[in-house]
Structure 1
Amino acid sequence: MAVQAPAKKTDFEKWQDGIDKAVGDPKWNEWDCDIQMAVNEYNRHLSGTTGYVQLDWRFIKAILWVETGAYNAEWGSRPLRIGVPGDPGLSSLLSGNEGGNLILPPAWKGKMTVSSVRAIPTHNIRAGIGYLLMKLGRYEYRTIPDADPKVYEIVVKAGDSLSKISEAKGSTVEMMQKLNPTAATLRPGQVLKYQKASVQRVITGWRSISTATIADRYNGGGDLAYEVKLNYTLNALRKGTPRICTN
């Protein structure tokens, strides 16, 4: 009777074997302390925003293992792979057009650049975390009062409108409507109140963080097995011992 040859492992099974072996390899814990430090910075910075739940650093470590891994050529420069050729994520984060300016801690604004994120692994890790959090945030444009709390007055002239006055005085129509609730129609000689204010983008809430939302918001569907890989990696990480960090 012929002996049946063992079934050939699929690429995914080979990948699983690699993760299982990584759990006992200290090399794969190299960025643990940098990840924890960066996550703590973001958690402190965003803790006052509506609905923010502290980010667990293990999610980031799992992303890092899925994105590269200790023996990938990107491990020593771009472990989270943000900023690789063809990836628009870095420019969207640094431009501020999608809310990145609200996500980045003040100490990293200006310090983190396209060049540094592509070459310095600690910058790459921080940029990757920032991009993920940016994609998890919910935003709206709202009227925000200026640091000057004083309420001023202005006399309406012919041809004036709330829009014209607010633009000239550094306020917003919404703020003027709030201070002058009965001013539906303007008349020359009418006295209106105004306060310095501007329309700004603000964080109004957060999407829940899970392997599903990470796969959708960070990977964007590029790898259909991304969520499965993250779940497998997180389970594997629970069996290992992370690097001991002093801070």
Structure 2
Amino acid sequence: MSYDGMPATYHIDLPDRMDQQSDIRNQYDADIRHIVGTFNRYLSKKYPASHYQNLDWRVIKAMIWVESGHKRSAWRFRPMQIGNIGDPGLQAVLHLKKTRLKNGKVHIQSEGAELIIPPEYTANLTWKNKEKIRHDPQLNIQAGVAYLLMRHAKFGYRTVVDFDEKDYKITVKFGDNINKIAAANGTTVNILKQFNPQINIQHLQAGLLLKYKKAKIRKTVLGWYSMNFLSITKKYNAEGDRRYMKKLKYAYTEINRQ
């Protein structure tokens, strides 16, 4: 993930005015490095075909400088500001998206957080811990990084083959169709087509022998939107500070000068 720098002469009024004498501004460096490294290792290994590019930990540090600043009380417990009242970010990370259906009922579904969060953090980032995430800086950073990456992920659906490496066979019965066979045998239409290219699946005849593997269609990460200062501003800051991108650029440049 690439980030455009900004001339060091550009000055913008950040929450703490970038006081270079304040060591507390570097308080979370070790935490940020560890958390970002954990996400990078997990996502690059889990989705090798998605072309994941490692997140730069200094971007998260710059975001924290802009979001909180060491002179604000939020610095001590909510450095990434995720979990503020009215902020949808934490709700998304905690796997909850509420949609009101036409019949008046509320449907709750995941926004894909479970596909982004490393196993090391799944026990931390739960609805049960929502208040703790608002007051524990390390958990707040974990949630903030998760939300940032969620908003840059391209979610989609893909056929995933089970790892048992076993081939199965099924004999077509009278009245069967390809969808019925797939559902009844724990596989997918695509897998049946792939393993039986010589058969016209639209006109299956009773007695035909079909080969297949166990498989499911699952939600996954197909790719990633390019991450830059503009995308972070739109996807993380949303309609907040209009000068967010300029502040972020300046903070990132100052961090690189240290």
Q: TM-score, normalised by structure 1?
A: 0.86
Q: How many pairs were matched up? A: 227
Q: Is the contact made by 2:12 and 2:247 (CA closer than 8 Å) also made in structure 1? A: no
For 1:78-98, what per-residue CA distance to the aligned partner results, in whole angstroms no more than 9, with x for missing partners? 110111111111121221823
Matched AA of 1:107: E
How far off is 1:16 after superposition? Answer: 4.2
Q: Please tell me the residue identity of whatever aligns with 2:91.
A: S
Moved segments of 4+, more than 3 Å: none
Cα distance in 1, alignment partners of residues 131 and 184 from structure 2: 40
1:121-160 CA-to-partner distances (Å, cap 9, x unmatched) read 1010011011111111112201000122211111111221
Partner of 1:203: 221
Question: How far does the alpha carbon of each residue in 1:83-119 deviate from its partner, in whole angstroms, 9 at most, with x for none?
Answer: 1111111121221823211211111112322233112
Partner of 2:212: 194
What do you get for the CA RMSD once the two structures are aligned?
A: 1.8
Name the counterpart of 2:123.
Answer: 110
Mapped to 1, the partners of 2:219 and 2:15 lie a distance apart of 45
Structure 1 residue aligned with 2:251, among 222, 233, 236?
233
1:144 to 160, 185, 203: 160
Q: Is the 8 A contact 2:156 2:221 kept in 1?
A: yes
Q: Is the 8 A contact 2:116 2:149 kept in 1?
A: yes
Shift of residue 36, structure 1, vs aligned partner:
0.7
How far does residue 163 in structure 1 lie from its aligned partner after superposition? 1.0
Choose 1 or 2 for highest CA Rg.
Answer: 1
Distance 1:55 1:143, change over 3 A: same
Deviations 1:37-62 (A, max 9, x none): 10111111112332111111110001
- CA drift of 1:20 comes to 3.0
| Residue aligning to 1:6 | none
| Letter of the structure 2 residue corresponding to residue 140 of structure 1 | G
Q: Is the 8 A contact 2:12 2:250 kept in 1?
A: no
Q: Which residue of structure 2 aligns with residue 7 of structure 1?
A: none
The answer as to 2:174 corresponding to 1:158 is yes
Question: Which AA in structure 2 matches 1:85?
Answer: I
> Unaligned stretches of 5+ in structure 2?
1-10, 97-109
| Correspondences of 1:30-109 after superposition (within 5 Å) | 30-48=27-45, 49=47, 50-95=50-95, 97-109=110-122
CA-CA distance at 1:35 after TM superposition = 0.6
Does the CA contact (< 8 Å) of 1:19 and 1:236 recur in 2?
no
In structure 1, what is the Cα distance between the partners aligned to 2:141 and 2:164?
38
Q: What amino acid sits opposite 2:149 in the alignment?
A: L
Distance 1:164 1:74 in 2: 55
Q: Is the 8 A contact 1:19 1:233 kept in 2?
A: no
Report the counterpart of residue 127 of structure 1 in structure 2: 143
Name structure 1 gaps, 5 residues minimum: 1-12, 241-247
Counterpart pick for 1:15 among 7, 13, 16: 13
Query: In structure 1, how many angstroms separate the alpha carbons of the residues matched to 2:124 and 2:145?
Result: 16
The residue aligned with 1:183 is 200
Q: Structure 1 CA distance, aligned partners of 2:118 and 2:61?
A: 20
